[in-house]
Amino acid sequence: MKQKTKVAVGIGILIIYMLSMISFASAVIVNANFITIFPGEEGKITIEVDNNENFDIEDVSVSLILAEIPFTVVGSSEKSIDDLDEDDDDRATFTIRASSDIVPGDYSIPYLLEYTNSDDDESFEKEGTFGIRVSAKTDIDFTAEVNENAIVGEQGRITLEVVNKGLGDIKSVSVQIFPSGFELLSKDEIFIGTVNPDDTDIATFDVFYRSSNPTLSATIEYKDFDNQDQIQTVSIPLKVYTREEALELGLISQSSTGIYIGLGIALAIAWIIYRRVKKKRKNKQQGKVENDKKKY
């Protein structure tokens, strides 16, 4: 019975010791502010260390572990914090830079916290991570063009090209057009969808040109990399030619239909005149013959 009692007491002491270690380990809390930076740019991370236990800790240091992620620390990757009394806290600030070719997204930054129990000089380590976001600056360009033979008074086609020059996707892209100098023959709004980085997409509209200097005015709505709604407006002048200008520039060739019709009419008139003259001569000759017969 005494042996069982000793075993039970030993197990109880072990459990209490393990719980005390868990309690101690959980007593030091690390918090970091969540920041958003852009590729190739810097941002400041502030790490707060809280001592929530009823004893003091000393030789506190925080290190960032960036060996396997596309970030670098500007300055030292390790910061020392003075002794922390019970229920005390302190902060360490790091400046980190994102790689210029980093893929935008959410990243976890590993850290290592080291400290010593000031009562018995026992050293401890605590590992963890905190989040950071690398966003993508929106950089969109627009170009517009008309169909090859854009002639005033004729039907044609206008194309608006959306160029994503940024590092992140733009999503739910839609284009609404407002006619100026032309009549819209198709619907005025087109949904494009997602345009990837270094990629383009187009919206094409069927039109009837009314002026030689129309303007493409459009509103482009989309969601940026952070899923925020954005609106941009564009106003792009276009060049449309009159038929005379297009002929002079060799953009179109003169139609031969009119020439053929005119030539046909001229030939028909000439044929009619020829037939009448011939008939008139024939009648004149017949009259002369009859007169000669009467004389004899």
User: Among candidates 178, 175, 210, 179, which has minimal Cα distance to 190?
Assistant: 175
User: Among candidates 158, 161, 159, 157, which has minimal Cα distance to 143?
Assistant: 161
All residue ranges of the chain with pLDDT < 70 are 1-26, 251-262, 282-296
**Amino acid symbol at 262:** G
User: Among candidates 29, 122, 120, 108, which has minimal Cα distance to 71?
Assistant: 108
What pLDDT was estimated at residue 83? 86
Cα separation, 107 vs 187, whole angstroms:
43
pLDDT in tens, 146-174: 987 799 999 999 999 999 999 899 999 99
The answer for 294, left when phi > 0, alpha when psi is -120 to 50, beta otherwise, is alpha
How far, rounded to the nearest angstrom, does the alpha carbon of residue 159 sit from its chain's CA centroid?
18
What pLDDT was estimated at residue 118? 85
What pLDDT was estimated at residue 21? 45
Judge whether 144 and 160 are in contact, CB under 8 Å.
yes
Q: Is the model's pTM score more than 0.75? A: no
What pLDDT was estimated at residue 149? 78
Same fold, 31-134 and 140-248: yes
Sheet with 57-64, edge to edge strand ranges: 36-37, 123-134, 105-117, 57-64, 78-81
Q: Tell me the longest C-alpha to C-alpha distance in the chain.
A: 180
Judge whether 229 and 223 are in contact, CB under 8 Å.
yes
Under CATH, what is the fold of the domain 140-248? Immunoglobulin-like (2.60.40)
Average pLDDT, the chain: 84
Under CATH, what is the fold of the domain 31-134? Immunoglobulin-like (2.60.40)
Domain spans, the chain: 31-134, 140-248
What pLDDT was estimated at residue 255? 56
pLDDT in tens, 187-223: 999 999 999 999 999 999 999 999 999 999 999 999 9
Residue 108: count of CB within 10 angstroms of its CB? 10
Which pairing describes strands 28-32 and 215-223: parallel, antiparallel, or unpaired?
A: unpaired
Helices (H), the chain: 2-27, 243-248, 257-295
Residue with tokens 């997602």: 194
